[in-house]
Amino acid sequence: MIGFLRGILLDKQPPALVLDVQGVGYEIEAPMTTFYDLPAVGENVSLYTHLAVREDAHTLYGFSRLSDRGLFRALIRVNGVGAKLALTILSGMPANDFALCVQAGDTAALVKLPGVGKKTAERLVVEMRDKLADWSATPQSGGSAKAQPPDVANPVEEAVSALMALGYKAPEASRLVRAVDSRHQSTEEIIRAALQASVS
């Protein structure tokens, strides 16, 4: 099991990134909460990881915080919640907010996340309430990343593509991004604002 990687960030196109670890390039999928913390391409980064092994693929998932990885692992144990939906949940709602929703039985907030219907929201509350009973709100680290100027030709298009990769339908992804003031903002900043608007 690969549990931790430290290396140079070669590429970041949400929801995937490439990390150079001593000459080996690891392709890693990550939630947007991790992308918000990433430094600029070419800088060093450390990630907690989870390796998922299936017959047809070995997929590596990366997280800037241990708490996010722990929640991801708890989510994929819930019946009907796969890795893609777990990433979507972590991208659309900070871990602490998710824990509070589960503890309060707030299914209305959970169904605002793409891919989470009423039955899935109810299942999340039932199956995760005990697991998150001792969850205490911890400050979310600001990470090592600073706001970067857009490093792609069109951060708006990149943001729409990233939201679609997270499970939003194309029209909804476009609508969310259009509703955001995207001037002078990086792809990650646009996605953050769009996701916040989608669950508010």
Residue-wise pLDDT tens digits, 85-132: 999 999 988 888 888 889 889 999 899 888 889 999 999 999 988 888
Residue 9's DSSP bridge partners are 19
SS3 50: strand
> Which residues in the chain show pLDDT less than 70?
134-153, 199-200
pLDDT at 136: 56
Q: Please tell me the pTM assigned to this model.
A: 0.70
Gap between the Cα atoms of 151 and 41, Å rounded: 9
Which regions of the chain carry the CATH code 1.10.8.10?
155-199
Class at the top of the CATH hierarchy for domain 155-199: mainly alpha
Superfamily for 4-63? Nucleic acid-binding proteins (2.40.50.140)
pLDDT at 30: 95
**94: closest CA among 46, 142, 153, 44?**
142
pLDDT at 18: 96
pLDDT at 174: 80
- DSSP letter for each residue of 74-115: HHTTSTT--HHHHHHHHHHS-HHHHHHHHHHT-HHHHTTSTT
93 with 60: CB under 8 angstroms? no
Which regions of the chain carry the CATH code 2.40.50.140?
4-63
Place of tokens 């893609």: 84
pLDDT at 152: 37
